[in-house]
Structure formats: C-alpha cells, structure tokens
Amino acid sequence: MATFASLGLQDSASPLMEQLMYFHDHSMFIITMIVTSVGYMILSLMSNKYMDRHVMDGQYLEIIWTILPAVVLIFIAVPSIRILYLIDENTAPILTLKTVGHQWYWSYEYSDFMDVEFDSYMIPQNEMDNFNIRLLEVDNRTTLPMNTLTRILITSEDVLHSWTIPSVGVKADATPGRLNQATFWFGRPGIFYGQCSEICGANHSFMPIVIESTSTADFLNWISRVSE
C-alpha cells in the first residue's frame, strides 16, 4: 500500500487525528523555515573569503541566536500542550473494548455485552480473496460504532505488543501484567487498518488490526449476531 505518492499521514478518521495532522503541518512549516534560513546563512559564510569579526565574536549575535530558538520552541510547545489536554482520558466512555496481545494475534472482548469475545488472526496469503489486502486482513474484524466515545483497555499475555491505528491517532503499548487505557471515537464509517508497533518476536509483522466503523444500528445488529 505504501507508495512514493503517499508518504504523508493517513487520512484522519477521528477528531484527535485531525488535530495531530494540524500540529504536524504547523511544526513542519516552522522546521522548513529554520532549515532554509540556517542553510542560507551557512552558504553565505562559506562563500565569503573574509570572516567578519562580528560573526566570530559578537555578544549581540549570541543573544539573538539564543532568544530566537526559545521563541520558536514556544510556538511549538503551546500547540503540543493543547493536544495533550485533548487526548486526556475521558471518564465517561459509552463503550468499552478490551484487547489482549498474543504471539502473534489479538483477542477482543466487549465488556458491555455478554459472551462477545473472539480472536483475530491475519489471513494467510493462500487463503485471501481478491479484495483482501495482503498482510493486513484478518479473519475476524473488530466492529465499533462511529460517533461513540470508546474506551479500549489494552494488555498482553506474553511479551510487549503495541495496539496502533494510525488513522485514528491511537497507539498504546500492550504490557504484560499492566492494563493500559485509551479513548477515541470514529468520525466516519469505514475500515481502518493497523499493526502491532512493538517488536514482539518472529511473527511481529503478521498480527494486523482491522477496525470496521459502522452506524449504531449496524453495530447492534452485528453484536446480536455474534452473541448468539
């Protein structure tokens, strides 16, 4: 799926990811300006046969290039602090999903419903259909309702894993003996892919994550089917 034309971030599927993309563009603009200006000054000095004594030893110049980076850091730090507050845990989620990392698959449990739990394995290449995406499709997709605040509880049964959905802006480690928590919601329907982002063994690259975002009615119909 990765091509040279799509080296940027994935299209956002949640309000949090939209804010992260805005911050990415904001930071990249500042970094581009810094690289351009510093590179221009370096080339200018290299092309000058005579080194100005004010450049070699200038207190005012040192004050300037100490203050300017501090100002730049402020313009980067303030938006990042705002995003940290946006991703803060919400105490009243509507739906809770528990996921456990294994070598090398994921298991899911819907804590708000009775007897709704399943394992999710990657589909081998020789069993895939034409519409399946290689190394990213699973036998049991995880379905969640859109526009619904969801809490996900993440842990591991054996070694370190990491549950990651890039288009939602969620990445949380699955640690043995510890329960990590993240909250998110989908702003649109669709199928969203992720992978384990923590090296966990020989088949680390073969434990993908597939989330299907649907309407609330379709989600309830799916829950009723899998719980039968």
On whether the CB atoms of residues 199 and 155 are closer than 8 A, the answer is no
CB 113 within 8 A of CB 227: yes
Q: Give the residue extent of every domain in the chain.
A: 15-86, 95-226
Query: What distance in Å separates the CA atoms of residue 175 and residue 159, rounded to the nearest whole number?
Result: 7
Q: What pLDDT shows up at residue 50?
A: 61
Whole-number pLDDT of residue 55: 59
Instruction: Give the C-alpha separation, 141 to 117, whole Å.
Output: 12
Neighbours of 1 (CB within 10 A): 9
pLDDT at residue 107 in the model: 95
> Tens digit of pLDDT for each residue in 176-215?
999 999 888 898 999 999 999 999 989 999 999 999 999 9
Provide the pLDDT for residue 160.
94
Q: What is the pLDDT of residue 82?
A: 86
**pLDDT tens figures, 25-50:** 999 999 999 999 888 888 877 776 66
* 95-226 CATH pick, 2.60.40.420, 3.30.479.30, 3.40.50.620, 3.40.980.10: 2.60.40.420
pLDDT of residue 86: 78
Instruction: Look at residue 209 in the predicted model and tell me its pLDDT.
Output: 94
Beta strands in the chain (DSSP E): 95-102, 105-110, 117-120, 142-145, 150-156, 161-165, 170-174, 180-184, 190-195, 208-214
**What pLDDT is recorded for position 58?**
65
Backbone angles phi, psi at 63, to 5 degrees: -65, -40
The ranges of the chain with pLDDT < 50 are 1-2
- Whole-model pTM? 0.79
